[in-house]
Structure formats: structure tokens, C-alpha cells
Amino acid sequence: MVQQELQESLLILLLQLVDRLPLPSVSQAKGAGRPKHYRDHLFLKALVIMIVKRLHRVHELLAVLEQPTTEMQRLRALLEENGRYPSRRTFERRLAALPDSLPAQIGCLGRHLVALIEPWATCGRAVAMDSTVLRAKDGAVWHKKDREAGVVPHSRIDTEAGWTKSGWHGWVYGWKLHLCAVVADVWIPLAAKLTPANTDDGEQARELLPEVPLEARYLLGDQHYNREDLRANCHLRGMELVTSQPGKYPHRDAGVEVRRVFHKLRSLAMENLNEHFKGIFEVHGPVPTKGRVATARFALGAVLVYQLAVWYRFESEMTLNCGLKHFLRAA
């Protein structure tokens, strides 16, 4: 078995994991749209290839797959179903639709990884939420005066992105990747969503929360998550929301010391995960994509690939948090 694995590329091993993905539940009602001739797994495999090979447009993916090498022949075979290979238009249509289903898929795999790895076996069952800012492609920005006037000075500007003010970087034009992750020795993403950068973190938390495993007992966040509606939703799930408090520091209320401990745990989990993620997928600078669909497909696809890498390394009895960047480079 080990010898056989050594003969396969790491990318192919990751694609084989896609065939084992647990799928989120979907409505059984049939819509009026075109029937699907290919399973969703096939296009998730295509997305994994795009992320690992750093291919950000569908035509780039197809052009690479057409190359007459042994690896590309093997990859094309994994993208066939019942002896059929999707047409270019089918790839374009199905890959464009993926961003809408990826949050549910990420949540489903996240819960599977928690059940498999048992990260809370030796610690409290806490999860943390945070967002990280991703700069728009090419660093091009749409200034407020031009936006209000409906003027786009340059075609490089991504008009679907938005502005936000970062405590570290000041004003940034781009996107926010909202993440929820396990607070433990291993960083497991549980939920993810991409929005324009001007979206409120607390509002997005309500969409991330349903993907959190029911056994979680604490939700940790900064003061942007200090919302009564989120607190009420947590209580319905038997969870306690612990967030930073507004007002001048130092706080002197009765719960300040407990919150300080939780705040440190949240910071260690989310800040490390965000930096780890940006380093692996090279997004400390601008994203390589333009537009909501392409950027959401890239960012959420990268989260899914991160989860797959953690899954593979767990089954291979490898270190989970260290070496992921070089592991994916080797693929």
C-alpha cells in the first residue's frame, strides 16, 4: 500500500479523497433547470486541480489538461464519468456555480474531520470566528468619489469588491474571507464564506454558525461578534458566546480574567490559521482573481484543499499543522 502511494502523485491522492467526501444534504425537490449528467464530485476535483496548480480561469485548467503528459492523462481520466468527459461549456457552467455550494461542502467536511480527528479530546470544545481581508486583484482600487459617480477609471478595477478599514493595514479595497475554526492543537476550518470587504462580520456569523458541530460549547470572537441575536442563536444550540467587550481598557468587570484567557485562545487559533492560510495560498498580497464568482471559487476552494490536506495527513499519520505549504507545493 505504501509503495503504491509512493507511485501516485500527491495531487491524484487528494483527488481520490474527493470521491470519499461526505456530501451536504440537499433538497430532493427537482427544479426546472437542466438535469445534471455529471456528479458534483467531478467538478470539485477540477477545482482542486485549479487550486493546487494555481490555475485561476477555466480555460487555463482545460489548456493544461490537454497537454500530452502522463500526469495530465491520469488527471483527465479522473474527470471522466461513464466514459464521458465534460465539454468546455459544461466545465464553465458548473465551476461558475460551485461558489454557492462550497460553504455547505466545507461545513460538511469540517464536521467529518472533527469526528475523525477528535481535536477536543484533551481540551474544551471551543470554536472561533474571524475574518481576514484579501486585497483586490492587482491592488487596483475603486475610490469612493468614482464609485459614487459610477465611473470606473480602469478596467483592472474589481467593481464587485468593497472597502474596509483594517487595524493593521488601514483602508483596504478587496474582500473578506470569514472563517470559523476549531480551537485546539490542530486548526480545522469548519465554515467559510467570501464577501466584499465592507460586509459586517457579525452579520455573516449567523450564516457560519449552522455549520459548527453541535458538540461545540463555546464560540469565541472579537467585539464585532458581540451581538444579542448571535448570542441568542448560540444559546439555542447550548453554546456560550464569549467576545471582547467595547469600552476603554483595562476592563474591570467580574468576567474580565476569564475573557482574557478565551481571547488569547481565539487569537492563537484564528490569527495563526489566517496567516498559515495566506502563506500557503500566497494571498498576503492581492488575490489572483477578479469578480465575486472567480474570487469566491478561489478562496473557498483553497479552504476545501486545506481541509483535504489535513484529512490526508491525518490518515497518513503525518503532522497536521506543520509542512502543509510544502506538501501542497509537492502536489
252 or 92, greater pLDDT: 92
* Domain 118-290 part of CATH 3.30.70: no
Q: What is the pLDDT of residues 187-201, one digit of tens each?
A: 999 999 999 999 999
The per-residue pLDDT for 6 is 46
pLDDT in tens, 314-323: 999 999 888 8
In the predicted structure, residue 151 carries a pLDDT above the cut 70: yes
Please give the C-alpha separations between residue 62 and each of 37, 57, 67, 80, 233, in angstroms, as whole numbers.
Answer: 19, 9, 9, 13, 44
Residue with cell 442563536: 233
pLDDT at 146: 94
* Percentage above 70 pLDDT, the chain: 91
Find the helix packing angle between 292-315 and 88-117, rounded to 10°. 40
> Average of pLDDT values for 43-60?
97
Question: pLDDT (tens digit, 9 = 90+) per residue, 256-271?
Answer: 777 788 888 888 899 9
Cβ count near 107 (within 10 Å):
21
Q: What is the mean pLDDT of residues 230-237?
A: 96
The pLDDT mean for the chain works out to 90
In eight-state DSSP terms, residue 289 is -
Q: Is the dihedral of CA 152, 156, 160, 163 positive or negative?
A: negative
Task: Give 253 or 222, the one with higher predicted confidence.
Answer: 222
Domain boundaries, the chain: 1-22+37-102+292-331, 118-290
Query: What is the pLDDT at residue 311?
Result: 97
Q: Mean pLDDT, to the nearest integer, of 202-220? A: 95
Pairwise pLDDT comparison (27 vs 113), residue with the higher score: 113
Q: Go through the chain and tell me how many residues it has.
A: 331
What pLDDT, on the 0 to 100 scale, is given for residue 260? 80
Task: Show the cell assigned to 321.
Answer: 499543522
The answer to whether the Cα torsion of 84, 88, 90, 91 is positive or negative is: positive
Q: pLDDT tens, 278-313?
A: 999 999 999 999 999 999 999 999 999 999 999 999
User: How is residue 324 written as a grid cell?
Assistant: 502543509
Query: Tell me, what's the pLDDT at 251?
Result: 58
Please determine, for residue 328, whether its predicted confidence score (pLDDT) is greater than 50.
yes
d(CA 318, CA 219): 28
| Mean pLDDT score, 220-244 | 94
Q: Is the pLDDT of residue 252 over 70?
A: no
- pLDDT at residue 27 above 70? no
**Residue of 22, 243, 286 whose CA lies nearest to 136:** 286
Instruction: List the single range of 75-84, 120-129, 245-254 with lowest mean pLDDT.
Output: 245-254
Q: Supply the pLDDT for residue 28.
A: 39
- Average confidence (pLDDT) over 164-183: 91
DSSP code for 158? -
- Tell me the C-alpha distance between 161 and 8, whole Å: 40
Q: Kindly tell me if the per-residue pLDDT of 86 is higher than 50.
A: yes
**pLDDT at residue 63 is higher than 60:** yes
pLDDT score for 31: 46
